[in-house]
Amino acid sequence: MKSMYSKMLVFILTLAVCVAPGMAVTQQSNIATVSLSATVASSLTVSVSVASLNFTDNNPSPAFNVTTSWNLASGQAVTLDTVAFFNSSTALTGTAGSIPTSSVITLATGGSGTCNQNQVLGGITFANTCGPDVFNINITNANLSGSSTVPLQVQIPTLLSFPPGSYAGVMNIQAIAF
């Protein structure tokens, strides 16, 4: 009989161990929330691979890279243009006079052009631009973000016809999305 009680006790204990976990009560806390927000600003940048060019003859400069990068909102712009231009009709000034923008040409992927043109882009007038544009692209939903690197050369084909001396100037390169 002891054996029967022992077996019964083992059975009850085994049953208690097996059933006890199912009887445990699960308790859950409240759900806390955190609101998330993010803002990504539109951006449009231009960089060049050289800081300066030095001319000693009538030949074109070595090619340098102009990189235009953009991240635009949908509907913000339909066209993106990168232009090279001078702030005045004088490209370089120096000890012996000045070199006009009409004596400077750019050589870009799209062709070459002198730097004495006026160009209106997005309602902004760029005087003394060097045509054609360094880079342009139509903006669609498929290319709202991107980057393009194009080679550019500058040439002063009549440089040696100017009086001897040192000349200096600044050419600007800017992108506009409109």
Torsion angle (degrees, nearest 10) of CA 98, 60, 112, 76:
-80
Q: Tell me the residue range of the domain where 60 lies.
A: 44-177
**How confident is the prediction for the chain on average, in pLDDT?**
91
Query: Is residue 20 assigned to a domain?
Result: no
Q: In the prediction, which pLDDT does 30 show? A: 96
Query: Is residue 33 assigned to a domain?
Result: no
The domain that contains 167 carries what CATH number? 2.60.40
Out of 1-10, 71-80, 101-110, 154-163, least confident range: 1-10
Percentage above 70 pLDDT, the chain: 88
What pTM, to 2 d.p., does this model score?
Answer: 0.79
Query: Is residue 152 assigned to a domain?
Result: yes
Query: Is residue 28 assigned to a domain?
Result: no
Indicate if the pLDDT at residue 158 is higher than 80. Answer: yes
User: Across residues 153-174, what is the average pLDDT?
Assistant: 97
> Bridge-partner residues for 176, per DSSP?
81
Into how many domains does the chain fold? 1
Query: Is residue 112 assigned to a domain?
Result: yes
Query: Is residue 168 assigned to a domain?
Result: yes
pLDDT digits (tens, 9 = 90+) for 23-82: 678 999 999 999 999 999 999 999 999 999 999 999 999 999 999 999 999 999 999 999
Indicate if the pLDDT at residue 91 is higher than 80. Answer: yes
Query: Is residue 161 assigned to a domain?
Result: yes
Tell me the C-alpha distance between 109 and 112, whole Å.
8
User: Across residues 108-125, what is the average pLDDT?
Assistant: 88
Query: Is residue 56 assigned to a domain?
Result: yes
DSSP letter, residue 141 = G
